[in-house]
């Protein structure tokens, strides 16, 4: 509910810059999908900074910046970063697996399945 209200406010304000901090973190899958659709419309033509642990929330972005130990580790398009062997590609591989070892590794990054 809070996320939807914040999205509505951003639409009404016509904000040129949006900062989305874990915008879908507390939502179930159905609600996350609905909010994600609204966000995609809202983000068009705007500068958006998305802070996310769920990779599904950043699948349509232009540029990803990964941070490791408080410093920028990677910058690039999702397609490019998915094949570099860096943090982003490692997380993609981990999220596509479903075993106990993988779950422990994801937990290390504070990422849910």
> Which runs of E-coded beta strand occur in 22-63?
47-51
Token digits for 6? 């914040």
pLDDT interval class at 95 (50, 70, 90) = confident
List b or e across 36-54, with b for residues whose CB sees 16 or more CB atoms inside 10 angstroms. bebbeebbeeeeeebebeb
What pTM was computed for the model? Answer: 0.67
pLDDT at 13 (0 to 100): 86
Q: Are 46 and 15 in contact (CB under 8 A)?
A: yes
When pLDDT is averaged across residues 4-23 and rounded to a whole number, the result is 81
What is the spatial distance between Cα 87 and Cα 22, in angstroms, rounded to a whole number? 18
Which residue, 79, 81, 27, 86, is CA-closest to 57?
27
Residue corresponding to tokens 């504070």: 110
Rounding to the nearest 10 degrees, give the CA dihedral for residues 32, 111, 15, 46: -100
Residue corresponding to tokens 């990779």: 55
pLDDT at 3 (0 to 100): 65
pLDDT tens digits, 33-88: 887 787 888 888 889 898 887 787 787 889 999 988 999 999 999 999 998 989 89
pLDDT at 5 (0 to 100): 80
């Amino acid at each position: 509910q809070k996320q939807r209200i914040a999205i509505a406010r951003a639409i009404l304000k016509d904000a040129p810059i949006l900062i989305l901090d874990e915008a879908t973190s507390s939502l179930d899958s159905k609600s996350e999908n609905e909010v994600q659709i609204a966000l995609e419309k809202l983000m068009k033509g705007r500068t958006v900074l998305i802070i996310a642990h769920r990779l599904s929330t950043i699948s349509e972005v232009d540029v990803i910046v990964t941070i490791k130990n408080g410093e920028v580790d990677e910058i690039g398009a999702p397609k490019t970063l998915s094949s570099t062997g860096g943090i982003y590609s490692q997380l993609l591989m981990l999220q596509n697996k479903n075993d106990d070892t993988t779950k422990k590794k994801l937990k290390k990054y504070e990422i849910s399945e």
